[in-house]
Amino acid sequence: PDVLDTWFSSGLWPFSTLGWPEKTQDLKDFYPTTVLVTAFDIIFFWVARMIMFGLFALKKPPFKTVYIHGLMRDEQGRKISKSLGNNIDPLDIIEEYGADAYRFFLTATIAEGKDSKYSHQRLKGYQNFINKIWNSSRFVLMNLPADFVPPEDLLTLSLEREDFWILSEVDQTRKDLEEALDNCKFHLASEMVYQLVWNQFCDWYIELIKPRMFGKISADSQRAAQATAHQVLKDILSLLHPFTPYVTEEIYSH
């Protein structure tokens, strides 16, 4: 008599986990929440029940927004399930590719309105992306003088065209990223930050400033390149942080 049906029990999740029926501080602070993320196949089983139970027990719906995404299928297009034996253990994937690469893969591939396919090739690509973040950060940090102090205003330095260009790219990406995240376009947001890091920052900006970073132009040009690269790296780490929190936390600590 004290065992609930699986989906009935799951329907209580938004408030039973917060101490309900006691009037706890957690319940006061965290109910209702804001966004629920779910695949489309359990809208009736789970989402509808949470809404109905929340309205019944607490007179408020448990969330304001439901973000509905597609399913992750195997490489043959089949639904991933234990009965088919094609289920994937996230811990195995993290062991092979790293948590950040796996997290970025899921964010980039699972979108609203369509299913996606699991792909070792794409996972390997995002693992390379994490390595790219690490190596570009090492390049910037290793080429700063030991007594480097970020300037309060970059515009006081002898900035060159590529400096203004990358700063404008970061600024525009930040605006576009905020809009995408506000509208739950997570896959588009991940693509934006991927393009900024790999294409604009690594493939172009770092290559353009290497002679300046190594002091082959002038001392003023070197200082401007170092300060701009440092500032852009900080900005990029903040933009990346929701997607790849572990590598960005580690780099930022340096």
DSSP letters of 49-62?
HHHHHHHHHHSS-S
Chain position carrying tokens 């400096």: 163
Q: What backbone torsions phi and psi does residue 151 show, to the nearest 5 degrees?
A: -70, 150
Tokens of 164: 């203004």
Contacts of 221 (CB under 8 A, 6+ apart): 158, 160, 212
Residue 106 has what pLDDT?
A: 92
Residue 116 CA to residue 86 CA, distance in Å, equals 15
> Would you call 79 helix, strand, or coil by DSSP?
strand
Residue 3 has what pLDDT?
A: 66
Residue 7 has what pLDDT?
A: 85
Q: pLDDT (tens digit, 9 = 90+) per residue, 69-78?
A: 888 888 888 8
What is the number of alpha carbons within 13 Å of residue 144 lying toward its C-beta?
A: 17
- CA 170 to each of CA 77, 129, 163, 166: distance values in angstroms, whole numbers, following the listed order: 37, 18, 11, 6
Residue 42 has what pLDDT?
A: 86
**For the chain, which residues score pLDDT lower than 50?**
none
Q: pLDDT (tens digit, 9 = 90+) per residue, 145-162?
A: 999 999 999 999 999 999
Residue 84 has what pLDDT?
A: 85
